[in-house]
Amino acid sequence: MDPFFQTPPQTGNRFHTDPTLRLALQWRLPEAVFQAASPALENMGRLAADTMPPLAEQAENNPPRHLPYDAWGRRVDRVEVDESWLELVRLGQRQGLVSLPHEDPYGVHTRIVQAGLINLYDPVSAVADCPLVMTDGATCLLKEHDPELAKQYVPRLTAREQAWTSGQWMTEREGGSDVGRSATIARPGDGGTWHLFGSKWFTSATTADMALALARPEGAGGGSRGLSLFLLELRQADGGWNGLTVRRLKDKLGTRALPTAELDLAGARAVPVGGLGDGVRKLTGLLGVARYWAAIGGLAGVGHLLALARDYAGKREVFGRCLADHPIHREWLARIASVYDAMVVLNLETAWQLGRAEHGEDGTLARLFTSLGKLACARQGVWAASELLESFGGAGYVEDTGIPRLFRNLHVNCIWEGTSSVLAHDVLRALKKPETGEAYIEEVVRRLGALRHPASGSMRECIEEALESLVPMINSPREEQARRLAWGMARTFQALLLTEFAEWRLNYYDDGIGVTVARLFAAEGLVEAGCDESAAALQAVAFTGQALPR
């Protein structure tokens, strides 16, 4: 009798095997744009299915090394990165992941096409998209705030061959998201240059060609208002570091193929971006782009794992039947799939709003949705990936299946560019301007009014009820409600988008699956129940777990 070996799951080309991704792109893009972009999406799906996985595995099995000294004791701080990881970066550049929005072939819809490409690329990239994220954001920033520097650097950053990458250095020991505590000092040099002195605790693009860094010019005031933004090239003409010393590479939970370093700046030569001052404000656009990419990372990993889980369910036999034939397993995967669909439609909405803002239209909703989208998709991605890991049983916990690595890498999306609480705080701050809340409410009401199909009736009522509970919090935002408010706004809009998508599927394909998906998602509740406990009671629960004395 031949021994049994389980047939492993395969994703195939997800542009074909992921119905949500393909249909959602078709829904959000004009037909001519969808047809024009399909060859690039098809090619990216093929590369992600056959070319990229072996490169990613090699990169993950050969993490970066820091060699502080050469054989003769000279300080060199060489960071060795496996060639496979560098090839994954180059592959992303060749496929236009950075250049596409700046080439702008599809006008206001270009960011949507980019989102589809990143979704296919990210899960098998060994997080090689990290420098691509920063490069896309840096390009936007330079174009907005310093046309002269943009002329010099943007052609290099947006090339498809021999392109540069950029880092973004904000995090210091004194403050992570609280950048106002930054201690790096800038001192004037010759010819309009400056020299930076200080430490950067977490730099995620150590092998980049340039970086954007916050520093406080000598004599400038304290807090975030005293910070300026500087551009520095990492290497000098002779190939040596530009006034940089690598303290160590970070040993991280995930993203292990990605070189992340703790650096000292000892006179690094730099130039101000857009003149001195307003450093934090200038980073706003870059952060928006980075948050949009991080949201894609959350949903892309889930899309990849869901494709594996669906394939596995047809191959794994349990109790005499394939997993796919067990109602309990089908219901479970359906619930996970409904969350994935919600993530996809919210991300494409963010891409649409971002594209509109980049083409001169009002950016109020773009700024709001980059925070809401990242908040929801990053955290929902971790939940869904945990569920999907379990769907493989013991194989999901075994390193050489690659599944644990995907799960670990997904967690970073909740950390980079703002934790859930930071994002909720940003939403709260945005709502301090009445026009932001008004824009959100008006958008929901307008789109609810456009729903026409009888099948949407129950969903429309659910969304209206959720909006009714959100409006008082939107109009009078308070910090203790910030997370509940932000989550409620994100989930309510996800439900609205799923309902719109369902109507399109019914009208275009006579397909009722989208209605079921929307109802499954809404069944989990769109706005969490409020908390009326006193601040003292919450303090006791949060930090001691003990009841207050009577």
pLDDT digits (tens, 9 = 90+) for 22-81: 999 999 999 999 999 999 999 999 999 999 999 999 999 999 999 999 999 999 999 999
Question: What secondary structure, in 3-state letters, does 378-408 show?
Answer: HHHHHHHHHHHHHCCHHHHHCHHHCHHHHHH
Q: How wide is the angle at C-alpha 289 spanned by C-alphas 283 and 259, nearest 5°?
A: 85
- The two tokens of residue 257 are 């193929």
Mean pLDDT over each residue of the chain, to the nearest integer: 92
What value does the mean pLDDT take over residues 95-123? Answer: 97
Is residue 349 within 8 Å of 47, Cβ to Cβ?
no
Among 92-96, 170-174, 189-193, 367-371, the range scoring the smallest mean pLDDT is 170-174
Residue 356, pLDDT above cutoff 60: yes
What value does the mean pLDDT take over residues 252-266? Answer: 93
- Stronger pLDDT, 152 or 219, i.e. the higher one: 152
Residue 528, pLDDT above cutoff 80: no
DSSP code, position 50: I
How many angstroms separate the CA atoms of 549 and 178, rounded?
36
How many angstroms separate the CA atoms of 550 and 538, rounded?
15
Q: What is the reported pLDDT for 535?
A: 65
Q: What is the reported pLDDT for 441?
A: 97
- The two tokens of residue 94 are 């060749």
How many angstroms separate the CA atoms of 428 and 442, rounded?
18
Q: Write out pLDDT tens, residues 420-438.
A: 999 999 999 999 999 999 9
What value does the mean pLDDT take over residues 409-413? Answer: 94
Residue 545, pLDDT above cutoff 70: no
Give the DSSP per-residue string, 347-367. Answer: HHHHHHHHHHHHTTS--HHHH
Is residue 230 within 8 Å of 213, Cβ to Cβ?
yes
What value does the mean pLDDT take over residues 225-234? Answer: 94
Q: Cα separations (Å) of 332 from 50, 200, 316, 378?
A: 29, 44, 16, 20
SS3 content of the chain, % helix, strand, coil (to 5): 60, 15, 30
Q: What is the reported pLDDT for 265?
A: 94
Residue 549's pLDDT band, with cuts at 50, 70 and 90, is: very low
Q: What percent of the chain has pLDDT over 90?
A: 79
Q: Write out pLDDT tens, residues 436-459.
A: 999 999 999 999 999 999 999 899
Residue 17's pLDDT band, with cuts at 50, 70 and 90, is: very high
Which secondary structure element, helix H or strand E, spans residue 217, and what is its range?
strand 210-217
Q: What is the reported pLDDT for 548?
A: 44
Q: What is the reported pLDDT for 313?
A: 87
Q: Write out pLDDT tens, residues 303-353.
A: 999 999 998 888 888 888 888 888 888 888 889 999 999 999 999 999 999
- Stronger pLDDT, 225 or 133, i.e. the higher one: 133
Residue 532's pLDDT band, with cuts at 50, 70 and 90, is: low
What value does the mean pLDDT take over residues 538-550? Answer: 53
Q: What percent of the chain has pLDDT over 70?
A: 95
Is residue 118 within 8 Å of 82, Cβ to Cβ?
no
Q: Cα separations (Å) of 56 from 83, 86, 257, 495?
A: 11, 10, 8, 35
Q: How wide is the angle at C-alpha 419 spanned by C-alphas 416 and 425, nearest 5°?
A: 130
Q: What is the reported pLDDT for 195?
A: 97
Residue 210's pLDDT band, with cuts at 50, 70 and 90, is: very high
Residue 543's pLDDT band, with cuts at 50, 70 and 90, is: low
CA nearest neighbour of 315 among 17, 6, 12: 6
Q: Write out pLDDT tens, residues 461-495.
A: 999 999 999 999 999 999 989 999 999 999 999 99
Overall pTM > 0.85:
yes
How many angstroms separate the CA atoms of 113 and 115, rounded?
5
Residue 531's pLDDT band, with cuts at 50, 70 and 90, is: low
Q: Write out pLDDT tens, residues 147-164.
A: 999 999 999 999 999 999
Count CB atoms within 10 A of the CB of residue 58.
Answer: 17
Give per-residue burial for 349-382: e unless 16+ CB within 10 Å, then b: bbbbbbbbbbeeeebbbbbbbbbbbbbbbbbbbb
Residue 273, pLDDT above cutoff 80: yes
How many angstroms separate the CA atoms of 546 and 42, rounded?
57
